[in-house]
A and B are shown apart, each in its own frame.
Chain A
Amino acid sequence: MSNFFTGLLRLRRGPWEMLATILIGLGVLMLMQPFVLWAYTYSFITTLVGTVMFIIVSHFKD
């Protein structure tokens, strides 16, 4: 876990990609879940942030 945070602080590709992936996955789940409308409302911004982050951080060093 501490490796993950160290990687984030050092701008390493692995942990940042992991974070972006979590955001995209969360966004898609929020978009398609049948339980709460507010989650659906904020799903797009979550997915968008995750996707843009993924594009940027995939150029970071390993």
Chain B
Amino acid sequence: MSESTATRAAAATPPRVARKIRGLSDRAIAWLFVGPTIFLLLAINIFPLIWTVRLSFTNFKANRNRPIEWIGTRNYERILTDSDIWLNMQATAHFLFWTIFFQVLIGFTLAYLINKKFKGNDLWTTIIVLPMMLSPAVVGNFWKFLYQPQIGLFNYVVGFFTGKDPSSFEMLGSVDLAPWSIVIVDTWMWTPFVMLICLAGLRSIPDYIYEAAEIDRASKLRQFFTITIPMVLPFLMLAVLFRGIENFKMFDLVVQLTGGGPGSTTELTSINLKREAFEKWRTGYASAYAIILFVTVFGLASIYVKALNKVKER
């Protein structure tokens, strides 16, 4: 079947092109195939990165038609001495830490439970992963309704369990509660992702290891800490890396929910960056801001890849 396809393809190639290709070496043909991808990679990823680095040292404004002025490291100095941006970094750190903490905790627990063989576990897996499949814009909008103090289900449930009046608190409007409200929604949406990765880890552990442990009379707790956890750890670290990088640049969900408010309590760095770049049009300044975030994520990713390789070696 494949031979006939190849023959047909060869026959369909115009004689002039076929003659040209026949004259090329294997290496040249390989480059011919890889070339377009490399070109796209350079054009879409590498060139904009280099251009952003260049712009970060200028006072360029994309909405003004004036010559670009070289201002050295002034943009970086401004960003790194601005206490408002420092607050945005803290808001991001709060969001990052707690979302990862809850997602790993709940995700691993769910994966552990789902991994036990029981009736209907496939159905439960499907139900649990549903939030992950929704669009962040949709999730943001319907959680906005759930958080409504008058008609919201969330306030009603909290009121039911704590005895508080449901309309006495506002999750999205309160300075103290708004950072937690975005943590709750992100955890609800992305815990299934962590669960799926953990489930893959748990299912990759061969049964004979547990059987050997049983023969050695290792307790269930001992098996959990000496077999399950070490073997799931690389998967867990991968999940943390993915969620860490994703949440560091979280934008859509939070914009839909709070728009960065009240005040700037939930204004994560990506939201602030977008405001600087496309509302205030301080392109040079925003480029420096983007480079700072990029270096941070790149550095963290390097550590993680190293840690992951070490765990794999074990």
Q: Taking beta carbons and an 8 Å cutoff, which residues of A are in contact with B? A: 17, 20-21, 24-25, 27-28, 31-34, 37, 40-44, 47-48, 50-51, 54-55
A47 touching B295 in the complex, CB below 8 Å, given contacts A24-B300, A41-B81: yes
Q: Taking beta carbons and an 8 Å cutoff, which residues of B are in contact with A? A: 76, 80-81, 83, 86, 89-90, 92-93, 96, 292, 295-296, 298-300, 302-303, 306
Which B residues lie within 8 Å of A25 (CB)? 303
Contact A21 B86 (CB under 8 A): no
A21 touching B295 in the complex, CB below 8 Å, given contacts A31-B89, A40-B86: no
Count A-B contacts at CB 8 Å.
54
With both chains docked as a complex, state the minimum distance between the C-beta of B311 and any C-beta of chain A, in angstroms: 15
Contact B81 A37 (CB under 8 A): yes
Task: Find the B residue at minimum CB distance from A46.
Answer: B299
Task: Find the B residue at minimum CB distance from A35.
Answer: B90
With the chains together, A51 CA to B96 CA distance in Å? Answer: 21
Contact B90 A32 (CB under 8 A): yes
Contact of B90 among A20, A21, A34, A55 (CB under 8 A): A34
A41 touching B306 in the complex, CB below 8 Å, given contacts A24-B299, A32-B90: no
Contact of B296 among A21, A31, A40, A42 (CB under 8 A): A31
A27 touching B296 in the complex, CB below 8 Å, given contacts A21-B306, A32-B93, A34-B90: yes
Contact of B295 among A17, A20, A42, A44 (CB under 8 A): A44
With both chains docked as a complex, state the minimum distance between the C-beta of B85 and any C-beta of chain A, in angstroms: 9
Contact B292 A51 (CB under 8 A): no
Contact B83 A37 (CB under 8 A): yes
Contact of A51 among B81, B83, B302 (CB under 8 A): B302
Knowing that A34-B93, A50-B299 touch, tell me 7 more A-B residue pairs with CB under 8 angstroms.
Answer: A24-B302, A37-B86, A44-B76, A44-B295, A51-B302, A54-B299, A54-B303
Which A residues lie within 8 Å of B300 (CB)? 24, 28
